[in-house]
Amino acid sequence: MYGLGVLKGMGVTLKHFMDTYIEDIQFLGKGKKTDAAFQIRQGSRARSLGLFTVEYPEEKIAVPERFRFIPFLVTNNLDDEENPGKDWCTSCGICPKVCPPQCIWIVRGTDPETGRPKPEPEEFHIDIDLCMNCGLCAEFCPFDAIKMDHDYELASYDRSGHHIFDKQRLSKEFRYWRSIAPTISAEEAEARGGWEHKDTLKEKAKAARAAKPTQESAES
């Protein structure tokens, strides 16, 4: 019969429509926008073919650990005992070299006494209008000092005044990185051999090595 195909197709639409309400019944009283409901609605095992939409901003999908949006700089925690707030960046220059849109500007620090370069950035700028969120800087940083952020809600009223991030705006405590990427930061710490910065760990190991022979000689 001519038109049967269209009718059957409409049946699919009707089923979708009904499914949406049938699915909602199970959330009656409990609310549709809870974590538990979200698991059911957005999980891979969701049975229903009802409405699939996430109602932003009343609910948002939490992003996974590897999500990348605008880099930030890792610093020591502000309550760190030895060097509170110290930059992890050593201004080695790998991130500006690998950055595809060339949105990273670093002024390498110089030691005021000797005039020689010292391993910390004097200025660090990222033009977030240029940044393409590729994550190569974080991937190739040998010091785990630049990481990709998760906060994607960065709308501002004025492009010219707010979209070049300076060092202060970019810097975030190490504890923040641990909170948004628990497994990755743990893997990195394991590779470094501790939770601190690579260089700090090296110095500590060196000090320990230096302390050990004197101890031994004292004993003998």
Q: Does 117 bind other proteins (CB under 8 A)?
A: yes
Distance between CA atoms of 32 and 87, rounded to whole angstroms?
A: 43
What whole-number distance in Å separates Cα of residue 9 and Cα of residue 178? Answer: 50
155 interacts with other proteins by CB under 8 A: no
Toward other proteins, which CB reaches closer, 93 or 193? Answer: 93
**CA separation (Å) from 193 to 9, 140, 148, 202, 205?**
60, 18, 22, 9, 10
Q: Which of 22, 26, 78, 151 binds other proteins (CB under 8 A)?
A: 151
- Does 191 contact other proteins by CB under 8 A? no
27 lines the binding site for other proteins (CB under 8 A): no
- In the set 24, 80, 118, 135, which binds other proteins (CB under 8 A)? 135
Cβ atoms 137, 104 nearer than 8 A? yes
Sequence-distant (≥ 6) Cβ neighbours of residue 147 within 8 angstroms: 71, 72, 74, 138, 177, 181
Tokens of 101: 């849109």
Q: Smallest Cα–Cα separation from 137: which of 96, 196, 89, 179? A: 96
96 binds other proteins (CB under 8 A): yes
Taking the complex as a whole, how short is the minimal distance between the CB of residue 100 and other proteins, in angstroms? 4
Nearer to other proteins, 134 or 201 (CB): 134
Chain positions contacting other proteins, by CB under 8 A: 2-6, 8-9, 12-13, 16, 33-35, 38-39, 42-45, 49, 52, 54, 57-68, 91, 93-94, 96-100, 102, 104-108, 117, 123, 125, 127, 132-136, 139-140, 148, 150-151, 153, 164, 179-183
